[in-house]
Amino acid sequence: MQRRRFILSATGALAAPAIAHSQDVMTSNGTRYRLVTLTRDLEQPWSIAFLPDGRLMITERPGRLRVFANGRLERAPVGGLPRVYARGQGGLLDVCLHPGFAGNRVLYLSYSAEGAGGAATTVARAEYRDGSLRGLARIFEALPRTSGGLHFGSRLAFDRAGLLYVTAGERYQMQRAQDLGDLGGKILRLRDDGSVPPDNPFVGRDGARSEIFTWGHRNPQGLAMHPVTGRMWAVEHGPRGGDELNLLEAGANYGWPRATHGIDYSGAVISPNKSLPGMKDPVRVWVPSISPSGLAFYTGNRFPAWQGSAFTGALSNFALFRIGVDGERWTGEERLLADRLPYIRDVREGPDGLLYIVTHADDGGLYRLEPA
């Protein structure tokens, strides 16, 4: 198939949706499904989130937040967005609703923002009313800032306790991941106002940032809570090989770059160690890389055979991966949509029990998987 231009450096139910076209029927583990195109009018979409009324919010990396409603993409972007550093992998990235959004109308955005010294992964919260953001306030920044446009991480997810998790890449400066005084290469846990929960693992430890929940990460771009256990899971980009699926444990060090299954893009060895004492091993490692992005656990009843599975987009593998998880174990996987869509950036379950995905391209699209 013809590959579209891709800018990634280095490396309510919906009412009467307009269907551009439906591809042929595919089969997964006995489940017949098809891919439906909803729109192809997006520029580098990065994340999707469903509003309580079934409308769908979509971030575009250059700095726009769009709404898909009543079967079409609304022409005017949402107003009141922050200024973003839209270079390389940076820009407007994730969008996440407050657990109490139906009452307070609060949502969260992650993005790269520029300031003294360079750019950093940033999180802001605001109220969404009448097609615009109001009271936008920055609540977190993965300091220190640095130059360059790589490895922002930027996924957002809430747990059952209403605490917000934020993934921050190490900005292509690998040693930052092992520095507890640095917020790069970490997964952070915050209250909904950006303050620090008192039971975070490094609260009160000299030389360590209290926002840190886990450390030793490279560029985690998928984050989701398991619907049964309530545990948080993440997928992260390795270098050349060594992509990871991780089960997050408070205070754990996930090894990068002291332990990795990958090598440098030049072919040079980064570390001779794939595992080290005192460091947490991945649940699953991909060699060669698939470039996992976005993460969702499926709980719906439209695809009964997929219940409990995790899904992640595989940017460099041109596929959607369905991953079997049993408690804390990886039990297998299969490659869906093989070579049908390039650069799947995010995947989410909709309120209708169907799966929705976006593709990160200049002519990026919103798609839906439905039973055939």
Question: The pTM is what?
Answer: 0.94
The catalytically annotated residue of 98, 151, 217, 360 is 151
The answer regarding whether domain 26-371 maps to CATH 2.120.10.30 reads yes
From the list 93, 80, 158, 95, the residue with the least C-alpha distance to 120 is 93
HEC string of 113-157 equals EEECCEEEEEEEEEEEECCEEEEEEEEEECCCCECCCCCCCCCEE
Calpha distance 235→332 (Å, rounded): 15
For 196-224, what is each residue's pLDDT tens digit? 999 999 999 999 999 999 999 999 999 99
| pLDDT value for 296 | 98
Partners of residue 60 on adjacent β-strands: 45, 64
| pLDDT value for 129 | 97
Q: Is 237 a catalytic residue?
A: no
The H or E element that residue 102 is part of is helix 101-104
| pLDDT value for 30 | 86
| pLDDT value for 22 | 54
| pLDDT value for 15 | 31
Please count the other Cβ atoms lying within 10 Å of the Cβ belonging to residue 147.
10
From the list 322, 334, 320, 249, the residue with the least C-alpha distance to 291 is 320
Calpha distance 209→177 (Å, rounded): 12
185 residue type, one letter: G
Hey, what are 43's tokens?
């520029």
Hey, what are 63's tokens?
């700095």
| pLDDT value for 9 | 38
Q: Are 231 and 283 in contact (CB under 8 A)?
A: no
Calpha distance 85→289 (Å, rounded): 27
Determine if the peptide bond prior to 257 is cis (ω within 30°): yes
Hey, what are 72's tokens?
């079409």
Domain locations in the chain as residue ranges = 26-371
| Residues of the chain under the 50 pLDDT cut | 1-21
| pLDDT value for 23 | 62
Hey, what are 294's tokens?
């976005």
Q: Are 279 and 218 in contact (CB under 8 A)?
A: no
Q: Determine what percent of the chain falls in helix, strand and coil, rounding each to the nearest 5.
A: 5, 45, 50
